[in-house]
Structure 1
Amino acid sequence: ATALIFGERYRETVNSLRPGLKTVRNFIILGQASKDLQGYEDLLSKYPADEPQVAVGEEDIAWILYTSGTTGPPKGVMLTHRNLLADTLSTLLTCFPINRNDIHLCLLPLFHVGGLWHMRCSFYIGGTNVLVESTDPQLVLETIQREKTTTTCFVPPMIVPIVDYPEVDRYDVSSMRIMIYSGAPLPEGLYQRMKRIFGDIIIQVYALTEATGGVIMPPLMEGPWEKVKRSGSCGKEVLGVEVRLVNDAGEECAPREVGEILVRGDNVMKGYWNMPEVTAQTLEGGYLHTGDLAFRDEEGYYYITGRKKDVITSGGRAIYSPEVENVISLHPAVSEVAVIGVPDEELGEVVKAVVVLKAGQKATGEELIQWCRGRLEDYKVPRSVDFVPQLPKTPSGKIRKALLREMRRS
């Protein structure tokens, strides 16, 4: 990047980072200019108000968005104008029943594909977007009550402080009618806490940066939510998107057989910025190889089981961490949980749970292990439990399981 535009609140942060920003020549502040910072409004006043006449083609790059970096270094995803339009139209025509009267609460940061996806769809149909500077629980709840927001998009870890906020019941959140989540499983315990506060309006979708957003979503245009929802499912392919499930041999999966999600369509990225080899591997055979696992039922509904890299193999048997996390999340003392595999000489890997307790609550590792017995098959029950004050997360709110595994193994 050669230019950095930032708000007044980030002045000190940017100043501390400047020595490492070797390519940036223009530092532009949305605030008071100084000797080494250009003022945004001052800069605009020097140039004509008319937009420059630049020819833009559908295959030209519109955005470069970076992945969350949960499984490795973040990668710059090149999305074209065709990608953006295809994704917006397929989403609105298939499964996102919003209209110009909706008021969207922007919880996700706008460097995140989910935040931009929801805002883009809202603008496209003439809706309203409300921005918040942070996900501070009081700020979010006050904004919902004051602005009467109707829709939002989130990743599960970011919603925990909001639903666990001690004074949450003081606020009127009845205006909310759609709450969409993606990027991570929603543990059953967290889902139940959300449902008590907001009602049965929580919708899972499957989306990723490399596909400009939506890939699999509930087919809400086929009927009301009560008719088309399936417990634990993120829905069906959106219009114009082809999804395959393949096993390790590259063969098509039978119904209810877990396999990797492959995606093809006009929403799939052009590639990764300056990473041709990784691009070729990821788009091998004309399909986007997502690294995510799912199965499909007889009706064509998809159920996400986790990331390939997060599968725990214990004694030759696969354990999908969301299943274990769901059970632990239902314990009344648990606020957040992440389940990982740790090395074991006999079984290869065994299950470890890393837990954040609710404020003022107590529980022991043995108590949580016993909680899992009878609710899970024996080989899925955690062998150990670690308690931490917080889980490591990416800037977009996803839990960094790769870092957790590294920390626990070292």
Structure 2
Amino acid sequence: MGLTRALHRAVQVNGNGAATIAGARVQSWRAFTDRVARLAGALQARGAGRGARVAMLARNSDRYLEYYYATFWAGGIAVPINTRWAVPEMVFALDDAGAEILIVDHHFQHLVPEIAQAAPRLRTIVFCGDGQGPAGALAWEEMAAHGDPIDDADGDWDEVAGIFYTGGTTGRSKGVMLSHGNLFTNSMAEAIWLNLRQRSSYLHAAPSFHLADAAAGFATTAVAGCHLFVDAFDPSAVLDVIRARGATHLLLVPTMIQMLLEHPAFVADDMRSVETIFYGGSPMSEALLARAIWAFPNAALVQAYGMTETTAIATVLEPGYHTLAGPLAGRLNSVGRAASHVEVQVVDGRGAEHPPGGVGEIVVRGPNVMKGYWNLPDLTAATVRNGWMHTGDAGYMDADGFLHVVDRLKDMIISGGENVYSAEVENAIAQHPGVRLCAVIGIPDARWGEAVHAVVWPTGPAAVRGEEIIAHCRKLIAGYKCPRSVDVTDRPVPLSAAGKILKNVLREPYWDSQGRQVH
């Protein structure tokens, strides 16, 4: 059962209903599905057959949703590219996945010559944006208008549907293989948790390359609801779409919620259409929760914890626990309980389950667990053992089954909802000739939850300054991964007996007053 089954149902039950609204463009489910069949035919004619990888580098739009479903309809594998990456990171993912087709919009067409030169496996560039596309690129609209429609490939349950790249503690990105079954199961579950219905309208405010937004989008399609779009998160644009289109469902990180509430155009009475706010990336503070409850008078709040490897979701903190008073209060420091289709445990080093309160590694089992890492069988075997996905996160379960995350075994930093892996940043910093040793940690930040902070031991006095480190990193990795602050020091390096830098020692001065090691 492939993800495209949802399109057939949507045509049957809501064929004339709005499927996508992007600015002035409005498509019904019947028109959307017809375009998908034609786009799939055009892609397949250019080599995107069963198992072929098709990449997308674009901001949010109805074309991004068409890309996902046209790729699935043709039998291909979607490879969404992080728009915040530097070009070398994009090229790595394209080469690693073996993508031969890349679809770009007008925001990124200027990168095509550089990408094409560095990624020789690319054979076809498709332009899906506004205006004139790059020289030699195919036109998305021409493909949609004149492509020969093909029958739905209807991917198998265990067949890979997408390769979603995520940072890695080894310093290289990892392609997470998610099957049609992984994504279909998650979409059914999300539709229930988020109370999605046919009359619902989900606003794509988070980036469409990110699995969290893609998964919520698949859930919206599953109920034949409506997709609304802003091309990137901008508080003003989000507020405009909510007011104009009556958006019912939002997926945000707490930082985004805070930015909306602080915007001068925010008016609580204009937010009455919003029924559900789904958030993750970090727990919500009680102060922000109180403001959000007032600001979105009709909205239920739902928190999720998970990762790409668990198809975005492992646990859910339901709306009833988003309260500051009464018998259900006091759960906001948790990330909720196991989602309806998932088993979650906290285990010790031998894999035995800890009793309530015991801190250990969080592991997850269920139909949401990835098929594995693309081209990394050894890492897959080390990460998924006996069906259990080992998250690398440390936490504990309380007596009522609520999971509390207390640290990250993999030194992952979550800044504004984006995952930043310290080893990847350290690899970039270490390439500076003035750096002898370095360590990257997350430190508290009132706006972003955590900020990337680098500690650098230079090769000699005045060998490097903090500003130079940040500028150096911006040439190699995405801006959100770059350090926001740098401590160039001659203090002794805190080392373990095995010779590893003790990051917990580096973190202590920043987190002592916080009561835990992560937000």
Q: TM-score, normalised on structure 1? A: 0.71
Q: 1:354 matched to which residue of 2?
A: none
Contact 2:194 2:276 (8 Å CA) reproduced: no
**Matches for 1:8-407 after TM superposition, within 5 Å:** 8-30=106-128, 31=130, 32=132, 35-49=135-149, 51-52=150-151, 54=153, 56-68=155-167, 72-93=171-192, 95-169=193-267, 172-198=270-296, 201-218=300-317, 230-310=331-411, 325=444, 329=446, 335-338=447-450, 400=481, 404=483, 407=486
Query: What secondary structure is seen at the aligned counterpart in 2 of 1:120?
Result: helix
1:161-206 CA-partner distances (Å, limit 9, x unpaired): 3333234348722222211111334345544554453357432211
Aligned mates of 1:405, 1:39 — CA distance in 2: 40
Deviates more, 1:136-145 or 1:31-40: 31-40
Deviation at residue 81 of structure 1 after TM alignment: 1.2
Query: What secondary structure is seen at the aligned counterpart in 2 of 1:27?
Result: strand
Amino acid at match of 2:200: D
For residues 185 and 407 of structure 1, do their structure 2 counterparts lie closer, same or farther at Cα, with a shift above 3 Å needed?
A: farther
Aligned mates of 2:232, 2:452 — CA distance in 1: 29
Contact 2:109 2:133 (8 Å CA) reproduced: no
Aligned mates of 1:409, 1:209 — CA distance in 2: 34
Deviation at residue 269 of structure 1 after TM alignment: 0.6
Deviates more, 1:34-43 or 1:303-312: 303-312
Structure 2, unmatched stretches of 5+, are: 1-98, 414-440, 457-469, 490-519
Aligned mates of 1:404, 1:9 — CA distance in 2: 25
Deviation at residue 70 of structure 1 after TM alignment: 8.0
Structure 1, unmatched stretches of 5+, are: 313-320, 330-334, 345-387
Deviation at residue 338 of structure 1 after TM alignment: 2.5
Amino acid at match of 2:181: R
For residues 224 and 188 of structure 1, do their structure 2 counterparts lie closer, same or farther at Cα, with a shift above 3 Å needed?
A: closer
Amino acid at match of 1:62: A
Aligned mates of 2:159, 2:399 — CA distance in 1: 39
Deviation at residue 309 of structure 1 after TM alignment: 3.4
1:249-302 CA-partner distances (Å, limit 9, x unpaired): 533222122222101111111101111121111112321011122222211122
For residues 145 and 44 of structure 1, do their structure 2 counterparts lie closer, same or farther at Cα, with a shift above 3 Å needed?
A: closer
For residues 136 and 69 of structure 1, do their structure 2 counterparts lie closer, same or farther at Cα, with a shift above 3 Å needed?
A: farther
Aligned mates of 2:105, 2:402 — CA distance in 1: 43
Amino acid at match of 2:345: R
Aligned mates of 2:237, 2:450 — CA distance in 1: 27
Contact 1:219 1:228 (8 Å CA) reproduced: no
For residues 159 and 225 of structure 1, do their structure 2 counterparts lie closer, same or farther at Cα, with a shift above 3 Å needed?
A: closer
Let me know the Cα RMSD of the aligned residues.
3.6
The share of aligned pairs that are identical, in percent, is: 29
Aligned mates of 2:224, 2:152 — CA distance in 1: 25
1:299-340 CA-partner distances (Å, limit 9, x unpaired): 11222224223499xxxxxxxx99x84xx74xxxxx445267
For residues 311 and 10 of structure 1, do their structure 2 counterparts lie closer, same or farther at Cα, with a shift above 3 Å needed?
A: closer
For residues 18 and 311 of structure 1, do their structure 2 counterparts lie closer, same or farther at Cα, with a shift above 3 Å needed?
A: closer
